[in-house]
Structure 1
């Protein structure tokens, strides 16, 4: 696998996945190191001139007015120790790697004033697989600094790290990886932690998962249309040109491609239920929300979001609010609502397929009838999953309190907005699995139905994981197996 070469621009959400999940090596160009060195020079000159610089020769937060009169380098260690306040379960390794890579990408853009040797140490730790043990609770989205202290502590040989699937003291992990602990110059500690890298990295992972789930949802929707005998005129491109809203043309084209064949079947009805008829609108809105969230994440990945910020060309060091991620939080709140809407339509189609039989299919999709339960018990499962999704769709970005004596009186709750969105994607994928199961069963129960080439492949993919229901059997384990295939990349359709 080719390494990821960072230049200070052009980093994508796919790059985060490559580094976080595929352990792709990271390299940086000499230009990045030169940019860091110049920023460090400007920072040191400003400090030598007597300028008050937040986090270098002043305290943080409410201690802003307190001058740091002792060793400024020692203060960086004190700064880290004083903010190592995160609690809770440790984040998964992929999210820690995503945060490390996101911070590296942000630092590559320049402006932090971080010492080049500390930057190189962070890259080396990621490439060597030295992963700080990072508790999950503590950030309110005004930068993720309470969580990010775990990364800084590991680089100086403090705290715990995961190395070669074993938890151990960071000093031991660095020694085993043949990496020396780093020493921190003034502001280095703050430069490592004062960023929204945890939120940004996790957001990138969630977006790639959302794109994957969206493709699978389109497949499930197309198979449902086949099974339902749906009226395909809803996909006519002229209809979507007449109202070119929110990417619905893109969604309609994807469904048309999945259903394409030489001889189109005659419509069985004039109009189908809204969960079918409005799929292009519903999926289009989700596509637009994903695109907007991608833009928000990739702005963060390629931006200098430090406070204070070093403006090399102007030889200035200025305080900023660039670490504040209101737009990122809003993008993921919006994405969560779009996912919930899509999931609700998916659940509605499942109910339509597995209901009374008014659609011409056997009641409950049971081939034997009588007292057979068929698929109808799964309606409860679908309802429970949808309820959980709807609960998580409630916004959280306004849930904060003033802290640090009122100096930090606004927050974004971006980590929570991203985390609950990722949980919604996982639950939504369970609904997709259930829709695929029901649609495949309905296809098998329609005598003489000929599928389009693409939907035929989708049906066959379902059948590699779940057999046709011929008599009542436990369907929960079948749903779990199909969901696992959708989630772990083994789904082939």
Structure 2
């Protein structure tokens, strides 16, 4: 696998996922090193002129009015130590790798004024697989600096790190990887932490997962349409043109491709329940929300989010609010709601499939009838999962308090908005597994049905993991097997 080259622009969520999950190596171009060197020279020149520069010769937050005249390296170390207030379970390995890559991508554009050797060490640590232990609780969305302090301290040899499956003191882990701690020059400590790299990195992974899960949801929805004998005219391109809702035409096109058949399929009904009849609109809204979240993440990956910001061409250093991420938070709140809406429709289709019998299907999808419970007990599990999704869909971006003596009187809770969206995707995949299982049973029970080639592949993928229900058995185990396949990246349909 070729290395991913940092250039300072053009970073994509797929890049983050490849580095975080597949171990793809990262390279820095000579042009990036030159860019960072020029920005560093501007920063040093402006500082030497006596200009007040936030976080370089001033305190932070409410200490803005305090001048810093002591040793610059010692102050930057103090800055990292004083903001190491994160707590909670450590971030997973893939989230730490995503964070490291995200910050490296942001630093590559040169706006921070960071010393080039620090970016080099950050990328070398990522490539070597030596990673900081980063607690997960501490960001309010005004940058992720409290969470990012663990990364900053790691690079100077403080705190803890993981390497080759061991949790070690950071300095020891770096040494085992053949790396040395960095020395912080003026503003370097602040440059490492003053950005939303945790939010952007985890956000990229969440968007990648949402894209994959939507494809799986489309397969489940199409298989339900086969099993329930749905009226497919709802996917007619002319209907999507008549009211071109966001993403609707694309959603309908994808479903048509899954259901494409050279035979004329007569519908069993004039109109189906809304979870089926409106599936293109529901999925289309999610397609639109995913694209908005992608764009918001990629703005962060390529953006100069530092405060203060070095404008190399103008020879200036000025304060900014670029670290603030209201658009990113709003994109993930919207994505979460779109996922919840899609999940609710999946749950509704499951209940339609497994109820008292619709469109000629047997009661509870049980082939034996009588006192057989069939699939109906799973309606409770589906409802419980949907309730958990709905709970996490509640917005959080307005939940903040003024801190730092009122200097930070607005926040976005971006990290929380991103993390809860990721948790919703995990739960949503469980609902997809339930719908796939019920839809496959419906296809098996519909006499004389020959699925379209696309849905036949989906049906075969389900049956490779779960046998048809002949008599009552523990179906939760089957649902777990399907969920494991959907979430592992090994699902093939």
TM-score range, shorter chain: over 0.9
Matches within 5 A, 1:86-485: 86-485=86-485
CA deviations on 1:146-170 (whole Å, 9 max, x unpaired) are 0111111111111000101110000
> What displacement does 1:262 show?
0.5
The SS at the match of 2:162 is strand
Q: Secondary structure at the match of 2:468?
A: coil
* Distance of 1:431 and 1:170 partners within structure 2: 41
Aligned length: 493
Q: Secondary structure at the match of 2:64?
A: helix
Aligned counterparts of 2:264 and 2:108: Cα–Cα separation in 1: 53
Q: Judge conservation of contact 2:269–2:359 (CA < 8 Å) in 1.
A: no
Other structure's SS at 2:387 match: helix
The separation in 2 between residues aligned to 1:304 and 1:165, in whole angstroms, is: 34
In the alignment, structure 1 segments of 5+ residues that lack a partner are none
Q: Using the alignment, how far apart are the partners of 2:264 and 2:398 within structure 1?
A: 50
CA separation in 1, counterparts of 2:264 and 2:172? 66
Give 2:52's aligned residue: 52
Matches of 2:25 and 2:262, distance apart in 1: 47
- For residue 78 of structure 2, what is the aligned residue in structure 1? 78
The alignment partner of 1:119 has SS state of helix
Q: Is the 2:102–2:301 Cα contact (8 Å) retained in structure 1?
A: yes
Residue 322 of structure 2 aligns to a residue whose secondary structure is: coil
Shift of 1:268: 1.0
| Structure 2 alignment gaps of length 5 or more | none
Partner secondary structure for residue 167 of structure 1: strand
Aligned partners of 1:110 and 1:360: how far apart in 2? 65
1:360 deviates by 1.3
Distance 1:434 1:119 in 2: 46
Once the two structures are superposed, residues 236-280 of structure 1 have per-residue CA deviations (whole angstroms, 9 ceiling, x without a partner) of: 100101111101000000000000011121111110000000000
1:21 is paired with a residue whose SS is helix
Where 1:65 maps in the other structure, the secondary structure is coil
TM-score by length of 1: 1.00
SS for the counterpart of 2:383 is helix
TM-score by length of 2: 1.00
Could you tell me how far 1:210 is from its partner in structure 2? 0.3
Q: SS in structure 2 opposite 1:161?
A: strand
The superposition leaves residues 338-377 of structure 1 with CA deviations (integer Å, 9 ceiling, x where unpaired) of 0000000000000000001133110000010011000000
C-alpha distance in 1, partners of 2:358/2:19?
A: 50
| Partner in structure 2 of residue 3 of structure 1 | 3
- After superposition, the C-alpha distances for 1:19-61 in whole angstroms (9 at most, x for unaligned) are 1111110001111011100000000001000000000000000
Q: What do residues 186-243 of structure 1 show as CA deviations (whole Å, max 9, x unaligned)?
A: 1000000000000000000000000000000000000000001000000110010111
CA distance in 1: counterparts of 2:332 and 2:264, whole angstroms: 39
Deviations, residues 384-412 of structure 1 (Å, cap 9, x unaligned) = 00000000000000000000000000000
Show the counterpart of 1:13. 13
Q: C-alpha displacement at 1:109, in angstroms?
A: 1.3
**CA distance in 1: counterparts of 2:267 and 2:93, whole angstroms:** 50
Alpha carbon RMSD of aligned pairs, Å?
Answer: 0.5
